[in-house]
Amino acid sequence: MKLWRRLPRWIRALTIFLVAYFAADVFTFAWTQAAHFRWASDDPSILSARQRTLMAARERSLQAGIPHFVQHSHRWVLGIAAVVYGLKRSSYNHPARMPRYKEWLRATPWQAPMPLPLGPPTFQWWDGLVVVVALALNFWNARLPWQVLIFTGCTAYAFGSLTLLLGTERKREAYSVTLGLSLILWSVPHVTAMLAVSVAIAAIAHEGLRRSLYGFPWEGPAKVETNEPWPLPIYENVNPQIPFEKAVFTVVLITSWLGGLTHFVNFQTTTVAFLSAVIGLVSCLIRLTIYCANYKPPLTFLSRILRFRLVIPGYDQALVVPLAGAILAVALPLELYRSGFTSPAIAVSAIGPTLLLLFTGGPALRVWQLTGYHYYSNQQTKRASAEG
């Protein structure tokens, strides 16, 4: 065990892979030899013709099924190895993955593009050698389509890099990779298109991880602590919480995933229209809750009727966007369904406008909290009033 731990990691990984890959060959060889020995141990002279025929048929069936079993085993091992290699390679030796390594590195004069002490976290020439060996094994006896093998490794690499890209403030690359993963669903069942998208997002992820080293140690802006009066800090900026550009990119990402999943699963148009309406209505309810959960109107509904003030502009302006979004959430899927749109088109065209309206429609939350005609009330307020 001590000798095994002293071996380099790549030797241990290669050993585990070779043992798993050729285990099926060893198992089937031992199985066939044991079966042949069992059937050949009986004296043919004491067996009836029917028994000899059955034994011969069993042996032929075993011999015919062995190649398929071995081939499928090799395919599974190669596929799992591609996934594991892609996931591990995306975070291999990156300081953001190892907090102690990062803290130690901060105490040194290291900066990109200087070599890292534990080795480079980006692709090297020997990664190409690993791909060549995997393709050679696949061509030898696995016979898996080579596009599938490359696609699996690249997709796993891109997926595994997401946490590191987000943790190192490479948000553009993380967004591109996330959007590209949804485009893979759109490309099903075209293998060539899926392969092209997976290679592209793997290249984007690799470039993002390489550039992330130049931002070491990824501290980010420090948050200034304030001692402003409870319950709300009143001097924060009053810009919209989600800028228009960010809202558009967020909606594109969400609708791309929803449309891709709809295309991949092949939902019926009626199901997609119904789910689109439900998602839109739930989103409107969330927006209404964010604004009005703790901010109550100055008059109840009955008081509005008695005082002939059905509309209170200072408060009701927060209700306009959720109500308009609810109308869109119901009307758009119904109209698209009647017009004969496909399921992915309904998912994208029905949910996208509703979400964009909810993200960008006014008033800005912070502005309304500070200037709206309402009063603030929650359980903490009531508890504080009761205690003091």
- Indicate whether 242 belongs to any domain: no
Question: Do 211 and 254 reside in the same domain of the chain?
Answer: no
- Indicate whether 362 belongs to any domain: yes
Query: What range defines the domain where residue 134 resides?
Result: 2-28+64-98+118-215
Q: Considering just the CA atoms, what is the radius of gyration of the chain in Å?
A: 31
Q: Which of 192, 215, 238 is the last residue of a domain?
A: 215
| Residues near 120 by beta carbon (within 8 Å), at least 6 away in sequence | 93
Question: Do 183 and 291 reside in the same domain of the chain?
Answer: no
User: Tokens at residue 126, please?
Assistant: 């020997």
CB atoms within 10 A of CB 153: 27
- Indicate whether 253 belongs to any domain: yes
State yes or no: cis peptide before 240, omega within 30 of 0. no
Mean pLDDT, each 10-residue run in order, the chain (388 residues): 69 78 73 56 51 53 60 84 89 88 90 87 86 86 85 93 90 94 92 93 94 84 54 50 84 93 90 92 91 83 81 85 92 91 91 91 82 71 48
Question: Do 184 and 251 reside in the same domain of the chain?
Answer: no
Question: Do 10 and 131 reside in the same domain of the chain?
Answer: yes
Question: Do 10 and 125 reside in the same domain of the chain?
Answer: yes
CB atoms within 10 A of CB 242: 15
- Tell me the sheet residues that pair with 376: 295
Look at the chain and count its residues: 388
- Indicate whether 54 belongs to any domain: no
Question: Do 374 and 273 reside in the same domain of the chain?
Answer: yes
What's the CA gap between 57 and 59, in Å, rounded?
Answer: 5
Question: Do 87 and 199 reside in the same domain of the chain?
Answer: yes
Burial of 196 (0-12, 13-18, 19+ CB in 10 A): middle
pLDDT at 53: 58
What's the CA gap between 159 and 1, in Å, rounded?
Answer: 33
Q: Which helix (H) or strand (E) holds 375?
A: strand 375-376
State pLDDT tens for residues 60-94: 554 555 667 777 787 888 888 889 989 988 888 88
Question: Do 261 and 327 reside in the same domain of the chain?
Answer: yes
Question: Do 211 and 337 reside in the same domain of the chain?
Answer: no
In the chain, how many domains are there?
A: 2
Token pair 């558009």 in the structure block, residue: 248
What's the CA gap between 293 and 175, in Å, rounded?
Answer: 31
Question: Do 266 and 172 reside in the same domain of the chain?
Answer: no
* 246-253 CB contacts, 8 Å cutoff, 24+ apart: 247/356, 247/359, 247/360, 248/356, 249/175, 250/355, 250/359, 251/352, 251/355, 251/356, 251/359, 252/179, 252/352, 253/175, 253/178, 253/179, 253/182
Tell me the residue type at 173: E
Q: Which of 215, 235, 264 is the last residue of a domain?
A: 215
State yes or no: cis peptide before 189, omega within 30 of 0. yes
- Indicate whether 326 belongs to any domain: yes
Bridge-based pairing state of the strands 375-376 and 295-296: antiparallel
What's the CA gap between 81 and 75, in Å, rounded?
Answer: 10
pLDDT at 235: 46
What's the CA gap between 385 and 388, in Å, rounded?
Answer: 5
- Indicate whether 308 belongs to any domain: yes
Q: Which of 171, 191, 215 is the last residue of a domain?
A: 215
What's the CA gap between 340 and 335, in Å, rounded?
Answer: 9
- Indicate whether 275 belongs to any domain: yes
- Indicate whether 40 belongs to any domain: no
CB 290 within 8 A of CB 359: no
| Stated pTM of the model | 0.79
List C-alpha distances in Å: 259 to 211, 247, 262, 349: 31, 18, 5, 9
What's the CA gap between 67 and 72, in Å, rounded?
Answer: 9
Question: Do 169 and 24 reside in the same domain of the chain?
Answer: yes
Angle of CA points 24, 27, 29, to nearest 5°: 105
What's the CA gap between 324 and 288, in Å, rounded?
Answer: 12
